[in-house]
């Protein structure tokens, strides 16, 4: 079935709106409309948390669409070029340093950890580009990304062994967490999303043309190297910001573009924004599930995203050769 992109956009936005509404109604006692009894719970906790979770998911969805377009690989995800390993290492370093005497700098650890994750993601990406000596050779980029990811992950492991008190915070980080998202996170992620989307849309034609092959895209006069550099920077920006706020949430960046493609969207002008909206909805849905299922106990948000994402991918598994 083929949807008109505009109609699809409106539909997905409406869905997100519905989820936001639900998000304000699910709290420590499961489903309850606290708006009348305790409005501060909604305005200070549930609304910003839901919005920020959506924002995080949208950043991941956008980053996933960019990654899949840049590398022509439907299995690409936002963490592909070592960003996740870099973010983890940043957080581990910050936690270890905060424990030591010289960790006074990290006393504002709320933002300190976010900054560490963000910086780590960027540093890893920089390392990847350095290792692959530039952005022009895609297979080399991918390989460099794998190497950086593996090495940094090992370094992170080493750090947690050195200081086991970091084990639990690292685990929370690796599984993803939306519990403490508030208005300051909303103020950060939504404008960032808008900027990143605008910049990415400028490269949407190049992403389309890359589908016909790199040489063809080049012959059509497209500035491939410049576009690649821009897209990589956006990838780092979006995935870094998302990881800094919500930890390493799996699957959202991978699955969101697929849901949109399955609805017949093929051009990146639509694929980019719709992946963002879809990703936002996905993470918000997972956040609601994690709050609701065992209230007041919360599941790490990475669990429902893995379940939802995994179930979706399973349903898309081809049942045989279709031509």
Partner 1 sequence: MSPMQNPTLRLDLDHLRLGEREVLRDLHLTLRPGEWVAVVGPNGAGKSTLLRALAGLLPSGGALRLDDRPWPLLSRRERAQALAWLGPAELDGTGTELRAEEAVMLGRLPHQGWMGLASAADRQAVTEALAAVDALPWRHRPLHTLSAGERQRVLLARALAVHAPVLLLDEPLTHLDSPHQADWLRLMRAQAAQGRAVCSVLHELHLALRADRLWVLSQGRVAYDGPAQQPAAREALQAAFGQRLRFVPDDDGWLALPA
Partner 2 sequence: MRTLLSHLLAWASAALLSSAALANTGPLTHTDDLGRQVTLRAPPQRIVAIGPSLVESLCAVGGCDRLVGVDRFSNHPAMVNALPKLGGLGEVSLEQVLRLKPDLVLLTPASRLHDRIAQLGLPVLALDAQSLPEVRRLLRHMAVLVGAPERAEAVWAQMQREIDAAAAELPSSWHGRSVYFEVDPTPYAAGEASFIGAVLARLQLKNIVPAALGTFPQLNPEFVIRAQPALVIVGQREAPNLAQRPGWAGVPAVRHGRVCALPRADGDVVGRPGPRVGDAARALVRCVRALPPP
Q: What's the min distance (Å) between Cβ of 257 and partner 1? A: 10
Is 180 near partner 2 (CB under 8 A)? yes
Q: What's the min distance (Å) between Cβ of 279 and partner 1? A: 18
Q: Please state at what angle helix 167-175 crosses helix 83-99, rounded to 10 degrees.
A: 150
Is 137 near partner 2 (CB under 8 A)? no
Residues 291-310 that bind partner 2 (CB under 8 A): 291, 295-300
Residues 40-69 that bind partner 2 (CB under 8 A): 40-41, 44-46, 48-49
108 or 211: whose CB is closer to partner 1?
Answer: 211
Within 13 A of 102's CA, how many CA atoms are on the CB side?
A: 4
Six token digits for residue 87: 């973010």
Q: What's the min distance (Å) between Cβ of 321 and partner 1? A: 12
Angle at 62 between CA 157 and CA 305, to 5 degrees: 55
Six token digits for residue 252: 């959202």
Q: Which does 3 bind (CB under 5 to 8 A by kind): partner 1, partner 2, none?
A: none
d(CA 81, CA 90): 15
19 or 81: whose CB is closer to partner 2?
Answer: 19
Q: What's the min distance (Å) between Cβ of 117 and partner 2? A: 14
d(CA 123, CA 35): 43
CB of 279 within 8 A of CB of 61? yes
Q: What's the min distance (Å) between Cβ of 297 and partner 2? A: 5
251 or 292: whose CB is closer to partner 2?
Answer: 292
CB of 232 within 8 A of CB of 125? yes
Backbone angle region of 133, left / alpha / beta, with phi > 0 → left and psi within -120 to 50 → alpha: left
**Residues at the site binding partner 2, with contacts judged by CB under 8 A:** 27-28, 38, 40-41, 44-46, 48-49, 98-99, 103, 106-110, 161, 164-165, 168-169, 172, 177, 179-184, 291, 295-300
């Amino acid at each position: 079935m083929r949807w008109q992109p505009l109609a699809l956009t409106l539909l997905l936005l409406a869905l997100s709106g519905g989820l936001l509404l639900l998000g304000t109604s699910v709290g420590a006692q499961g489903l309850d409309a606290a708006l009348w009894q305790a409005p501060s719970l909604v305005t200070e906790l549930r609304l910003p948390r839901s919005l920020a979770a959506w924002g995080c998911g949208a950043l991941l969805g956008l980053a996933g669409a960019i990654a899949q377009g840049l590398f022509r690989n439907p299995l690409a995800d936002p963490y592909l070029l070592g960003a996740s390993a870099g973010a983890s290492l940043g957080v581990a370093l910050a936690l270890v340093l905060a424990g030591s005497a010289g960790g006074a700098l990290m006393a504002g650890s709320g933002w300190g950890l976010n900054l560490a994750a963000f910086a780590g993601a960027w540093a890893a990406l920089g390392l990847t580009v350095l290792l692959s000596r530039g952005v022009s050779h895609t297979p080399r980029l991918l390989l460099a990304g794998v190497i950086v990811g593996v090495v940094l992950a090992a370094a992170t492991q080493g750090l947690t062994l050195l200081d086991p008190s970091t084990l639990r915070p690292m685990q929370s980080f690796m599984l993803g967490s939306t519990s403490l998202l508030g208005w300051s996170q909303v103020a950060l992620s939504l404008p960032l999303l808008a900027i990143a989307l605008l910049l990415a849309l400028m490269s949407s034609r190049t992403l389309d043309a890359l589908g016909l092959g790199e040489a063809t895209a080049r012959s059509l006069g497209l500035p491939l190297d410049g576009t690649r550099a821009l897209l990589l920077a956006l990838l780092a920006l979006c995935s870094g910001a998302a990881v800094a706020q919500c930890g390493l949430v799996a699957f959202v960046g991978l699955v969101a573009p697929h849901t949109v493609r399955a609805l017949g969207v093929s051009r990146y002008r639509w694929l980019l924004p719709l992946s963002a909206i879809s990703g936002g909805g996905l993470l918000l849905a997972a956040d609601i599930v994690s709050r609701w299922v065992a209230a007041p106990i919360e599941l790490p948000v990475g669990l429902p995203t893995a379940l939802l994402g995994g179930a979706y991918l399973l349903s898309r598994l081809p049942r045989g050769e279709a031509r």
